Chain A
Amino acid sequence: MKKFTLFGWFKNISIAKKLYFTVGIMALLIGIELFALFFSINTLSSVRAYVEGEGLWSKAQKDAVHHLLRYGITRDENDYKKFNEFIKVPLGDSKARKELMKPNPDLEIVKQGFLEGRNHPEDIDGMITLFSRFNKISYINKAIYYWGEAEPIALKLIPIADSLHKQINSGAPSLEKVNDLLKKIDPITENITGPEDNFSFTLGEGSRWLEDLVLKLLFVIALSVEISGLLLAISVSRSIQKGLTEIINATGSFAKGNLSAKAKVFSKDEIGVLANSFNTMSAELEKSINEIAQAERKFKGLLEAAPDAIVITNNEGLIKLVNAQVEKLFGYQRNELLSNKIEMLLPGKSKFAGLIEIEKNENLVSDIQGRKKDGSAFPVEISFSPIHTEEGLLISAAIRDVSERKHIKALENKNKELEQFAYIASHDLQEPLNTIHSFIHLFEIENKIKLDDEAKAYLGYIQKSAERMTELITDILEYSRIGGKSQTDIVDCNKIVKDVLDDMKASIAETKTSIEIDNLPTIRAYPVELRLLFQNLISNAIKFRKKNMDCIIKISYKKGNENHHFTVQDNGIGIDEKYKDKIFIIFQRLHGTKQYEGTGIGLAHCKKIIELHHGNIWLESQPGSGSKFHFTLPEND
């Protein structure tokens, strides 16, 4: 268990409580001081009352002596009465003193006694208190002793007065006796002066002592009030200041960028709470600043990794940020571009805002010229996107060099044109050929009898040539038509191969060809073209078989890495390695038409079909030991 200390407790209470506590302590101390003051004044006032009482006592005793002496001379009863009046004062005081000396004094009797002693009624309570409370104090004790000493002396006057009164009222008073009695009075007066003086003196000394004591006491209390007040104030203000200084230092350090700056917590009061709040806040801020920094790093990373050149400008067209691709594309260093106008890169365009209507999402602009550092111009396409930031609208422009694409586009157009040209040309070439065919035919029918053998042979040559030309043109036409209009579909390769083999049934039977086929996949492809591909490869295998042995064809399939891998293998005459590329070019033939029929377009078709599918076709072969055609088709759903 934690040990409780006043300091520790005071440190951790709230500042308001600290202040209340301080003020409370001061109020208590001031109360004590006031009480002490009140008490001392009361006590001093009681001392004064005793001094006064002594004065009255002394005067009454003297008046009593005076009237008694006078009574002896005048024998006037009034003087006697006066004596009795005055002597009542010491008697009253005596009564009070005697009562007070008892262990349990009857205060009524005491009061009565003091009243008879002609003391002021308001002083009497104080006198009683002083007597009963401080009778142990040496001064008071002594004074009481002297009082007790003087009192019986004074009271000796009463028997003298009684005797004198009797003598005078005896009817024949003896002068001698009267004088004897009167002579007894003087020594009493003389005896009484000593203790009387001592009494006053002692009281005076006591009151000085008390005065001194009270002053000292008041001084000590006042001093302690001031010191404790001062100490408390210092302690409170120092603890506040210490905590605040710590917080101010921490915030200053934080503002200068030390994000992990924390304020030390000294107490659990408001300052401590404030320090804790600051620490929580700074931790949160540090976290979010770190997150922002991380996001910024990520953004910069993305920016740098982007394949396009990215330029970020403000709304006025000043370049704010570029990535490495910009340096690469335009040949500038990054710092040469920053804070410059976008015009540097895109001549004539002072800012993006004029080029586009950002807010309308019309954010792609082409047909713009970019300019490199060396001054050369190149076509670019720019896609814009607005970025709304605290600094206002920023525009991010992804700039792409489209010279390559334009080049490719031009090539594609050329290619299309060529295909179109081939199609139209071949169609238009067919017409006159058809006419030649037709009329040779008619001519033959109508002039059969008239023609000699030579003429018939010539006609045959014309006929054959025309037929070959028709074949060539038909092939060009088909070649140019591959993939022209058709669409991909899900096709079962097993079915396609089966259909092809059905069509070629006659030639397969005739050549005694045997065919092995793996289980083939179902894939997405151009059906008509894929069929043509298998047909060409199979018919090629049959066509280039060895004359002296049966033809064996093996169609295999293997699932490749993201593609379909097919092979068509034969045991035919094979092809020399050096022709492995040439065979795929249109109208390239390795053999004379007499040896092997054909136009030489079959494998060109195959290549074009494979390219249409974005696949590959290649050959593995040795002359005399068969050929193995491989082709792959990419796997797309």
Chain B
Amino acid sequence: MRKKLKCVLLVEDNEFTNIYNQKLIVNLNIAENIYVTESAEDALDFIGRKGKYSSTQIKYADPDIIFLDINMPGLNGWEFIEEYKKLNVKSNHPAQIVMLTTSPNPDDEQKAKQINEVIAFKRKPLAQNIIVDILKEHFPAHL
């Protein structure tokens, strides 16, 4: 029995995209928990256990992978990364970020390569084989 990822976090403002992405991951059966946040701020609250995630009843796991949209109302993907770094998540469990974009801009791709936390820069829509490739490269134990 292969090991499942503890937690996958989706950060995306489009609800249909979230439904689709969630479905893909569920179908692949690679994660114990899939959390959906509809804005960067919401996602930061989740990671920092703040706001509606401050309850002590439920124990949220730290995300192993974050699928992050770039263009969002409020904080965008880049600003999310800046804020995420400030949270100083325990170094033994830093999230691996997959950036997703609708319109791939070469400048953006270059920018993403400069950030350690970002492991992939992919064009939407997400597909099963894309996820599989990422797991192969970064989480081989979980396949």
Contacts and interface: CB of A to CB of B under 8 A. Distances in A.
B127 interface: yes
B105 interface: yes
B23 interface: yes
Interface string B3-32: 000000000001011001001100100000
B33 to A, nearest CB: 21
Nearest to A484: B107
B102 A435 contact: no
B29 to A, nearest CB: 14
Contact of B20 (A426, A442, A474): A442
A18 to B, nearest CB: 99
Nearest to B15: A435
A467 B7 CA distance: 33
Given A438-B17, A441-B125, A477 B23 contact: no
A481 interface: yes
Interface in B33-59: none
A427 B103 contact: yes
A437 interface: yes
A439 B103 contact: no
Contact size range, A: 10 to 19
A438 B17 CA distance: 8
B107 A434 contact: no
A435 B103 contact: no
Secondary structure at chain A's binding surface: helix, strand, loop or mixed? Answer: helix
Nearest to A439: B20
Contacts of B105: 481
B106 interface: yes
A19 interface: no
B85 interface: no
A481 B104 CA distance: 12
A135 interface: no
B106 A528 contact: yes
Interface of A: 426-427, 430-431, 434-435, 437-439, 441-442, 445, 474, 477, 481, 485, 528
B41 to A, nearest CB: 20
Nearest to B128: A445
B124 A485 contact: no
The 10 closest A-B pairs by CB, nearest first: A430-B102, A438-B20, A438-B125, A435-B16, A427-B103, A434-B125, A434-B124, A437-B125, A477-B103, A431-B102
A523 B35 CA distance: 53
B71 interface: yes
Nearest to B124: A434
A50 B109 CA distance: 153
A435 B105 CA distance: 20
B16 A485 contact: no
A248 B79 CA distance: 93
Contacts of A426: 103
Contacts of A435: 14, 16-17, 20, 125
Contact of A430 (B23, B27, B103): B103
Given A427-B71, A441-B127, A442-B23, A434 B103 contact: no
A443 to B, nearest CB: 11
Interface in B89-104: 102-103
Contacts of B16: 435, 438-439
A434 B27 CA distance: 19
A96 B73 CA distance: 163
Contacts of B27: 445
